[in-house]
Amino acid sequence: MHNQEEAAQAYADLHLSFVTIHPFFDGNGRMARLLANLPVLKSGLPPIVVPQEDRYQYKVCLSAYQSTVTDLAELRDFAQLPANSEKQRFVELCTGYWSQTIDLLNKAHEVQSKRLG
């Protein structure tokens, strides 16, 4: 089980690793987001959802990170992927998306609590 900080880091690690090595032109993001949410959900936390209106910023951030990966053809272990400021920026971006989801859930719980009285 992960706490929220560890879960966000696990999400980013899985997401960046998968999308960096996934060989297909289309579907990388969808599959990476699905896969990366597994440790988050397993920890009992809500999924990290990238809002449609932020997809461009999300893709720019991914691209910026991927541009820091050198010698991808020589990659033998995900631990060789760089842990740098671009990766940290992606973690922060995803954590921000997560905050929006958590806020929505909290508001829904408040409404439900008021209804149940």
Query: Could you list the active site residues?
Result: 22
* Distance (Å, whole) CA 61 – CA 39: 22
Reduced to 3 states, what is the DSSP secondary structure of residue 44?
coil
Is residue 4 within 8 Å of residue 45, measured between CB atoms? yes
For residue 25, give the amino acid letter. Answer: F
* Distance (Å, whole) CA 93 – CA 73: 27
